[in-house]
Amino acid sequence: MYQLNYKAPYDWKWMFAFLAGRAVSGIEVVDEASYCRSFALGNSQGLITLMPDEAACQLKVTLSAGLEPVAAEVLTRVKQLLDLDCQPHTIVASLGELSAARPGLRLPGCMDTFEQAIRAILGQLVSVAMAAKLAGKLAQAFGEPLLDFPQWRLFPTPERLAALNAEQLKQLGMPLKRGEAIIHLAQLMVNGAFPLAAPREIEQGVKALTTYPGIGRWTANYIALRGWQASDVFLADDYLIKQRFPGMTPAQIRRYAERWKPWRSYALLHIWYSEGWEPVS
């Protein structure tokens, strides 16, 4: 078992609820006190189990034997998934009243940027539950069983998805164009052209993502938000955000959000999860 430290406060109940709502069948299991998932890195694969010890401000990480050879990198990915390096007091001081009700809110990241990008595409114009269901179907159809734990599956590799045709993905219940977008992104990944790490200029990186077939501004920003764990992204085109800013265009919302630089991603989360929040004129 490994131990990762973090700075309090940390709203674990919220984080696990967020992950549970998006959990992919066969790949992730989440309850109020723990998170478990299959994971592969290079030729190593296995199960990761995460359990917070709030009294000690530590996260307990258990890796199955297959992941021990790559333990250091897996722990880095866990930190990214759960935003463990966050300095909450700095963010609360910057966001002020907006963050006062939930000072322990963290930015959910991911274990694998490619996987998160595919899941973002699957989430276009469907509910969170439907996106998770589609990802589960994708994993069941094209993911490999996990060695030593055959009841679990691995998320499909870029090579597997790149070799598909759009009709095969359409059969899972998605539009043809969405299947084409997934295949194109997988091919970019295979060719080393997909940006796994956040570019120096996030805005330019987001614009580059929108040039990919089937990736609009919302999806590109969501990939930046969770796939790159960019701390200064605001989804002005998001349905709920537009509801929170009645009468304002996305351009006006983006201008309003300038006040929360360089923590607009955290501001976004607070607005998403603050019922009744309204902008101040």
Q: What are the residue numbers of the active site? A: 238
| Residue 178 burial (C-beta neighbours within 10 Å; 0-12, 13-18, 19+) | buried
**C-alpha to C-alpha distance for 92 and 278, rounded to whole angstroms:** 19
CA neighbor of 105 nearest in space, from 116, 115, 95: 95
Question: H or E segment at 73?
Answer: helix 71-82
The phi and psi torsions of 60 (rounded to 5 degrees) equal -90, 125
CB 231 within 8 A of CB 242: no
CA neighbor of 155 nearest in space, from 126, 171, 134, 127: 134
- The 8-class DSSP code of residue 111 comes to S
CA neighbor of 110 nearest in space, from 157, 156, 132, 77: 77
Residues 6+ apart with CB under 8 A from 161: 118, 142, 182, 183, 186
